[in-house]
Chains A and B, each alone.
Chain A
Amino acid sequence: MTLSPYRPRTFSLEDAAHLLRRAAFGATAALTREFAALGPQKAVERLLNFDTTELPDNPFDPAEGVNGGAAVRLAQMRWLHELMYSPHPLREKLALTWSNHFVIGVDKVRQAGMLKGYMRVLREHGLSKFERLTLEVSKTPAMLLYLDNNQNKKGKPNENFSRELLELFTTGIGHYTEEDVKEGARAFTGWAFRGLLGLNNPAQTAVPEFVFQSNQHDRGRKTYLGQSGNLTGEDVIRIATHHPATADFVGRKLWRAFVSDTPSDAGVRELVQLWNDTDGDLRAILTALLTSETFYAPENRHAIIKSPVEYVVGTVRALGQPKLKDEKRYTQVVQQMAKMGQALLGPPTVEGWKGGRDWISDTALLTRMQTAASFALGSTLSKDVKAADLPLALLGRERAPFEAALRGLGVPQQAYLTLISPEYALA
């Protein structure tokens, strides 16, 4: 039974480190020891027990941006701050995962209020029922704008959102027809938002709100994925999220984000079963995944190539959350992540980042080395970081496999070389 609970005789330091690397970007040796004492169930409970409040001392507010570009940069910096310092790393990891599923992009969405509203939904509903999460994201002005659903009007359909809802957000390709896409678009007519002012308007901080324009809605009969009636957008989301293919398609994404890049068919079958039993309850699904035998199986450890955000945020968390010097440094880190291929809130296309081996390129590797140097060799590295703790904090192992190569070097050099080792590239 692949998803049966993990019940080791002792929950080892390396077990705890594995969980923290996957669900919390990584942690110091001290925090890893705390988690090892909890055991697998309680450790996951502690990670899942989060609220949605952002840090009171987060210095960045997109609403202070003087134009769209500044709002975008501030939104990215604000998120980076939460990723690095929030006491709820799993909340942020989930937001990151869902932002790569329900994709919007700051190439098009450049308004502070929209970006805030979108982030809020990802944080609040990351562990809701999947239908609820889908519905809430679909109604964000960010999504309405990004996939042109605000332009979708009675008798004047725009298919963009309707198509991606099926292809990328729910069933995946091969489970619907062009007719379903068209009928879905009709059901979404009338979905819009109000409150958007000009992008360069100082009052752009207003958070636009979803609005249903009933005079623009096509009330006619539609047939969608085999169901007919005077379907609304809500009906279509209910039907698409409950389609049998959706549990498999979305379940695989969660598996790839948390367990391994190559989900096993048997594992996914169990996940689909659980999805059906709980009506797509994401909290139940994530709990099961993170406490399973499979999650801790040797072949699934050190097996996922870290994304740039995981690489950077993991480094900060494993090194004891050193503070970044100033605003410029935040900008630099956001840019470095972009250069490694992951601009926060800016996936290359609506399909999002594919991940896995796509994260590895010459440019990405070089940028990882520069980033590692800036954290390990500059003034960022805390004096409290001890050489003896580096393997557990950075590699999730009690001893580095290349221990001999590091002999005689100072702590910063050891930290740097560990950060640029092939081992550190994997979570």
Chain B
Amino acid sequence: MQRRDFLKLSALALSVTSGMPGFLARAATVAGGDKILVVIQLTGGNDGLNTLVPFSNSAYYAARPTIAIPKKDVLNLTADLGMHPALRPLSKLWDDGELAWIESVGYPNPNRSHFASMAIWHTADPTQAQREGWIGRIAEKIGDPFCASNLDRQPVKALRTDTMILPTIDDLDTFALTLPKGVEDAYAALLNIKRDGEVAFVEKAVRQMAQNTAKVQANIKKYKAGVTYPQGRFPEQLKDIARLIASGTGQRVLYTSLGGFDTHAGQRAEQDELLTVLANSLVAFRADLEAQGLADKVVVMAFSEFGRRVAENDSAGTDHGQGGVMFTLGKAVKGGVHGESPDLENLADGDVRYKQDFRGVYAEALDKWLGLSSADILGGKFGGPAWIAG
């Protein structure tokens, strides 16, 4: 972008923010902190048992004659547990003590609906009474809609709030407001009429977008690629996250998703492919952060809405289940396996019983990493493993 054009855009951003509520004005000053949490959503219900494999458990092999990961292929982590072979790229992080697995994670009265379950993880509210997402509530707490962004096409409920519109960024390169010559003043005037109701919501979103894009474009050139990422949408999203972090745009939470985990049929081929993409992308992201000198500032936390049924179905796939595994990685992470392994002899309706409330895992990220009160954001105290080191 030409400097002259950028000045125009900044001017537009300023002119359209004149009517902004006070919280935006004070946002930059209170955002604070330089630790960043990257949240990765594995959409569709990732099969935890074939991700962190209980390879010493004969019940696992009995339940999955076709799709179990053969013992010889498992990447052993402990005497009983090992990773899916597609996760081999993560082995070094494990060896360095920077990869943590958290077992049997779920919530009370589990729900096998993708959507209801995802909404529970997004709102951190199993009763689903909350309209706002848990990351949206972080933004409310900090008072800055730019403190969290979603790198994807569509907004996710985790970043929803009643009063702010948090950025959803599909592609940083095109994340720029450009108006054709000669209409800037007219557009600013058009935005400045009085509006009520839903149209006022859209107007506010436009003003926020103008601010967000101006901020990103002002900073984004500071990033120099540190590594080559694999081809594909998910690695691109992670790369954009690295670019935002390296540019110092100031987000505290960055969110992205990898979809396709709803493996009802032919699970091995589908999940193997997805875990390969996941592992290769994460390793590239990590190496990029290293190259930028930012690896100690970032922690990754990955979740899925539920695990899958223990027994395979007859389509060489698995149906919707309950408890699943989460993982976190980063220099600040206390590596290892946390929590209690699923008891495959004592299932809930054929599913892994949850033993760790997911909000306890969130709480550790909030209290120990982001330095925010988890009790405020989650609406109560939740216990969980100490997966942040120190």
Measured CB to CB, the residues of A under 8 A from B are 107, 148, 151, 153, 155-160, 163, 167, 173, 178, 261, 302-303, 305, 338-339, 341, 348-351, 357-358, 360-367, 369, 373, 377, 401-402, 404-406, 409, 413, 416-417, 420-423, 425-426
Contact = CB atoms under 8 A, between A and B. Distances in A.
B154 A358 contact: yes
A356 B265 CA distance: 33
A7 B383 CA distance: 61
B230 interface: no
Nearest to A167: B113
12 contacts: A148-B264, A155-B314, A158-B264, A158-B317, A158-B319, A159-B320, A350-B262, A351-B114, A358-B155, A360-B165, A402-B189, A402-B193
Nearest to B171: A363
Contact of A361 (B44, B154, B190): B154
B186 A365 contact: no
B183 interface: yes
Contacts of B198: 261, 302-303, 305, 426
B201 interface: yes
Contact of A341 (B153, B264, B319): B153
A1 to B, nearest CB: 25
Across the A-B interface, the 5 shortest Cβ-Cβ residue pairs: A156-B314, A361-B168, A405-B189, A363-B170, A151-B315
A363 B175 contact: yes
A406 B201 contact: no
B193 A348 contact: no
B142 to A, nearest CB: 19
A163 B165 contact: no
Nearest to B212: A362
Contacts of B212: 362
Chain B binding site: helix, strand, loop or mixed by DSSP?
loop
A356 to B, nearest CB: 9
A349 B168 contact: no
B116 A158 contact: no
Given A362-B167, A406-B186, 6 more contacts: A151-B315, A158-B265, A167-B115, A173-B116, A360-B165, A405-B189
Contacts of A373: 180
B313 A158 contact: yes
Interface string B249-263: 000000000011010
Interface string B72-113: 000000000000000000000000000000000000000111
A363 B202 contact: no
Contacts of A413: 180, 182-183, 186
Interface stretch (B55-63, B203-211, B284-292, B327-335): B203-211
Contact of A148 (B177, B201, B203, B265): B265
Contacts of B168: 361-364
A151 B179 CA distance: 52
B191 interface: yes
Nearest to B314: A156
Contacts of B167: 361-362
Contact of B115 (A160, A302, A351): A351
Interface string B300-343: 00000000000001110101100000000000000000000000
B68 to A, nearest CB: 18
Nearest to B149: A362
A423 to B, nearest CB: 6
B260 A425 contact: no
B71 interface: no
B123 interface: no
Nearest to A360: B205
B199 interface: yes
Nearest to B211: A362
B18 interface: no
Contacts of A302: 198-199
B199 A365 contact: no
A167 B150 CA distance: 28
B223 interface: no
B345 interface: no
Given A156-B313, A158-B314, A159-B319, A365 B190 contact: no
A366 B209 contact: yes
B276 interface: no
B155 A361 contact: yes
B221 interface: no
A156 B65 CA distance: 14
Interface in B19-64: 43-44
A417 B262 CA distance: 43
Contacts of B315: 148, 151, 156, 158
Given A151-B314, A151-B315, A305-B202, A377 B180 contact: yes
A420 B182 CA distance: 15
A401 B189 CA distance: 11
Nearest to B114: A349
Contacts of A261: 198
A401 B200 CA distance: 13
Contact of B209 (A349, A365, A426): A365
A360 B202 contact: yes
A162 to B, nearest CB: 10
A366 B174 CA distance: 8
Nearest to A341: B154
Contacts of A350: 114, 262
- Central interface residue in A363, A402, A417, by most chain B CB within 10 Å: A363
Contacts of A366: 174-177, 209, 213
A110 B71 CA distance: 35
A141 B58 CA distance: 38
B183 A363 contact: no
A362 B169 contact: yes
Interface in B111-144: 111-116
B380 interface: no
A151 B317 CA distance: 10
A201 B273 CA distance: 24
Given A148-B264, A362-B168, A422-B199, A160 B319 contact: yes
Contacts of A349: 43-44, 114-115, 259
Contacts of A167: 113, 115
Contact of A173 (B113, B260, B265): B113
Contacts of B44: 349
Interface in B221-244: none
Contact of A160 (B201, B205, B264): B264
B189 A404 contact: yes
Given A153-B314, A361-B154, A425-B202, A417 B170 contact: no
Nearest to B216: A362
Given A157-B314, A350-B114, A422 B191 contact: yes
A369 B177 contact: yes
B313 A157 contact: yes
Nearest to B260: A107
Nearest to A404: B189
A303 to B, nearest CB: 6
A66 to B, nearest CB: 22
A362 B183 contact: no
B219 to A, nearest CB: 15
Given A157-B313, A339-B170, A365-B209, A360 B201 contact: yes
A365 B175 CA distance: 10
B390 interface: no
